Amino acid sequence: MSDQEKKPPFDGPQMRGMHYKRADMTGTHFDGVNLANAQFHAVMTKARFTDTNLSEAIFDDINLAGSHFHNVNLSAATVNNANLSGLSLKGVTLANANIEDADLTGMRINGVLLTDLFLAYEKLKDKYNQ
C-alpha cells in the first residue's frame, strides 16, 4: 500500500459518543482514542484499535473481519449482527460486554482461537458438574 493509499490514524482525540453510519472505514487505525459510547454501523475490515476506550460502544450491523484490538477497553460494549471472523483481541477488557448474532470464525483472544476456548470451557464445566 502506498503512502497515498494508507488511511490516516485517529491518534489521541476525544471522540466520545460519535456515530459512524454507513461508513467504509476499512484499514483505519485508532490509537489512544476515547470512543466511549460511540456507535458504529460500518465496514471496518482490517481496522486497528490500540490503547483505545470503547466502553459502552455499540457495534451494530458491522464488519470487523481481520481487525485487531490491542489494549482496548470494551467493557459494557454491545456487538450485534457482526462479522468478527479473523478478529484478534489482545489485552482487551470485555467485562459486561454483549455479543449476539456474530460470525466468530477464526476469532482469537490473546492468540487462542475462540473455538478452542469454548472447548476448554465445556470440558471444565463437564468436569465440575459431575
Domain assignment of residue 15, given as a range:
10-128
Pairing of the two strands 108-109 and 112-113: antiparallel
In the predicted model, what is the mean pLDDT of the chain?
89
The whole model's pTM is what? 0.83
Q: pLDDT (tens digit, 9 = 90+) per residue, 48-95?
A: 999 999 999 999 999 999 999 999 999 999 999 999 999 999 999 999
Burial of 5 (0-12, 13-18, 19+ CB in 10 A): exposed
Measured in whole angstroms, the distance separating CA 7 from the mean position of its chain's CA atoms is 18
Helix, coil or strand: residue 127: helix
Assess if residue 4 is contained within a domain. no
Give the CATH number, domain containing residue 51: 2.160.20.80
